[in-house]
Amino acid sequence: MILLTGANGRTGRAVLTALVARGAGVRAFVRNPQYAVDLLELGAREVVVGDMTNIDDVERGVAECTKVIHIGPPMSPDEVSMTMNFVAAAERNAVDQFVYYSVMHPFRRGVRHHSLKLDATEKLVESGIPYTIIEPSRYMQHLELIWPKVINDGDFAMPFDIDQKFNVVDLVDLAEATAAIASESNHLYASYELAGPQALSQRDMASICAEILERGVSAREVALDDMARAAEARGISADRLEQMRIMNAHYTEHGFLGNPNILTWVLGRTPTTFRAYVERLVASTG
């Protein structure tokens, strides 16, 4: 049995789907019981409702599992302590592999969630438990948050410099790779940078959207204040808003470039291009 934490999030659901496709038995760990039925319908064999900060809940989740895939809440200030709760429970239960879903370039100390994931990685490695670290780049799926504006108004608006480059990656590829890493026997004691196959700017991505949609699409940098107001209206916490500001400013200055070789090797194929992802998105949305 594989314990999958953060199972109801966008990443967790994608990973659950990929694990089930491989025939893996998955126990989903979630905070809110209202999502249990959905996760069982997606193929989870069991659902454990609990709080990642509660040691007893964590112990219930890990008990009798042979592997753990830990996906923490986005930008949580408790990243290290929550991760170590699961690491400690995994040690007590002698799990065979602890897969930690981190972020590409955790050494970027100027961005808190990168820095905290680096701290958690250090503690995990030094725990002595068999581990694999997954370090994903920025998702292509972030486009879906603005997709109605892209198709209706030709407005590709992101809170980054429109010429800064990113190796955006398809979440479906990441989920498939995560499932492979947790299912195959040759991935222990590795840290894997998982980046998409192209270095693209917002201007590049807008141009690809325009070609596929056969209409004008223009890239536009959203001011951080405007981004914060929109996120606040969606109920994002003040702490996360501040971290989003810091992250977006950092990416605007430095970009987020990575290498696709490891993802290519894990998948056994070329990772999905941004064009192929957008074509799939168009097909799925009509």
Q: pLDDT digit string (tens) for 129-157?
A: 999 999 999 999 999 999 999 999 999 99
**DSSP assignment string, the chain:** -EEEETTTSHHHHHHHHHHHHTT--EEEEES-GGGHHHHHHHT-SEEEE--TT-HHHHHHHHTT-SEEEE-PPTT-TTHHHHHHHHHHHHHHTT-SEEEEE--S-TT-TTSHHHHHHHHHHHHHHHHTS-EEEEEE--BGGGGGGTHHHHHHH-EEEESS-TT--B--B-HHHHHHHHHHHHHSSS-TTEEEEE--S--B-HHHHHHHHHHHHTS--EEEEPPHHHHHHHHHHTT--HHHHHHHHHHHHHHHHH-B----HHHHHHHTSPPPPHHHHHHHHHHHH-
Name the pLDDT band for 236 (thresholds 50, 70, 90): confident
At 209 the pLDDT is 98
What rounded mean pLDDT belongs to the chain?
A: 95
Report CA-CA distances (Å) from 116 to 51, 80, 123, 164, 196.
Answer: 19, 6, 11, 25, 23
Burial of 185 (0-12, 13-18, 19+ CB in 10 A): exposed
Q: pLDDT digit string (tens) for 168-210?
A: 999 999 999 999 999 998 999 999 999 999 999 999 999 999 9
pTM of the model: 0.95
Name the pLDDT band for 67 (thresholds 50, 70, 90): very high
At 240 the pLDDT is 84
Percent of the chain at pLDDT exceeding 90: 87
Name the pLDDT band for 82 (thresholds 50, 70, 90): very high
